[in-house]
């Protein structure tokens, strides 16, 4: 039986690759975005496609999109929390408004959509929630403090959500991609902190040059990630986490080794903090 997918941010970038792969597989798709005309034009026509408006930062949009999905297809089997933005810069230079916007799109947005979908999945007694995170949820990077804050929090929320919804037949998966050739680093998706502190000038210039030059040069193929996502969703049990890309695997392995060294360095002190018997 074909599945019904709901994908946020489906009109461009990685979300568009996901959307095309889902339709090519024969499944049904609810493709969402802030500009539904742009989404529809990007994906093309299909009898298995419903395009609907969804700004993930607006809870009412999430409820309306879920209602439209149920009216059209009767169920939602897979939710892909994909919509994202990127606010880059040194924390001291990022404005409070930029931090709020990063958390709104990267954390609160997926929460809004998941909150709207969960009653449907509970009623079905089944469902899969896939959240596109980042290696920046496992490894902190200079110049990425806002993005990492949202992604670290996203992972913690999903890990905590899983045992809450397991009794209802609902599974979750965190996807931690490395560098994939998407539109995340384009001018439409990346916003930079204003240059406000002279002490950061030299390093800021180096990072700006790196991020701008990386756009379109990332090694990961999002079409292959889309196929991997379909493979994983069709497994008898959804993995709790998928590290996506050889570069991501390498970075996470380095982080695991670092954490182990940090544990070993002060294990005796850490183990001595209980009340005396």
How far are the Cα atoms of 12, 59, 82 from residue 49, in angstroms, in the given order?
16, 23, 17
C-alpha closest to that of 3 among 82, 81, 68, 76 = 76
Angle between helices 13-24 and 222-233 (to 10 degrees): 50
**Catalytic residue numbers, as ranges:** 147
**φ, ψ (nearest 5 deg) of residue 273:** -100, 5
Contact assessment for residue 217 and residue 184, using Cβ atoms and an 8 Å cutoff? no
Find residue 86's DSSP bridge partners.
Answer: 190
CA angle centred on 90, ends 86 and 91, rounded to 5°: 90
C-alpha closest to that of 5 among 37, 24, 13, 237 = 24
Contact assessment for residue 73 and residue 4, using Cβ atoms and an 8 Å cutoff? yes
- Dist. CA 8–CA 200, nearest whole Å: 35
């Amino acid at each position: 039986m074909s599945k019904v997918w709901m994908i946020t941010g489906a009109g461009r970038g990685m979300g568009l690759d996901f959307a095309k792969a889902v339709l090519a597989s024969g499944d049904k798709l609810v493709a969402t975005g802030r500009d539904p005309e742009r989404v529809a034009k990007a994906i093309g026509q299909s009898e298995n496609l419903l395009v609907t408006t969804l700004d993930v930062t607006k809870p009412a949009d999430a409820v309306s999109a879920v209602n439209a999905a149920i009216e059209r297809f009767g169920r939602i089997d897979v939710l892909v929390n994909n919509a994202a933005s990127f606010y880059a810069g040194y924390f001291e230079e990022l404005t409070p408004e930029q931090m709020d916007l990063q958390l709104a799109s990267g954390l609160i947005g997926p929460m809004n959509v998941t909150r709207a979908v969960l009653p449907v999945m509970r009623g079905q007694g089944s469902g899969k929630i896939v959240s596109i995170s980042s290696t920046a949820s496992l490894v902190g990077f200079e110049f990425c403090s806002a993005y990492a804050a949202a992604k670290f929090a996203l992972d913690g929320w999903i890990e905590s959500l899983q045992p809450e919804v397991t009794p209802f037949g609902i599974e979750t998966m965190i996807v931690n991609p490395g560098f994939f050739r998407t539109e995340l680093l384009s001018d439409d998706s990346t916003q930079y902190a204003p240059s406000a502190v002279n002490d950061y000038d030299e390093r800021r210039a180096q990072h700006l040059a790196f991020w701008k030059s990386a756009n379109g040069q990332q090694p990961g193929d999002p079409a292959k990630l889309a196929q991997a996502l379909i493979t994983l969703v069709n497994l008898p049990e959804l993995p709790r986490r998928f590290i996506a890309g050889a570069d991501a695997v390498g970075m996470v392995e380095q982080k695991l080794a670092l954490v182990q060294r940090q544990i070993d360095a002060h294990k005796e002190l850490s183990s001595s903090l209980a009340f005396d018997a």
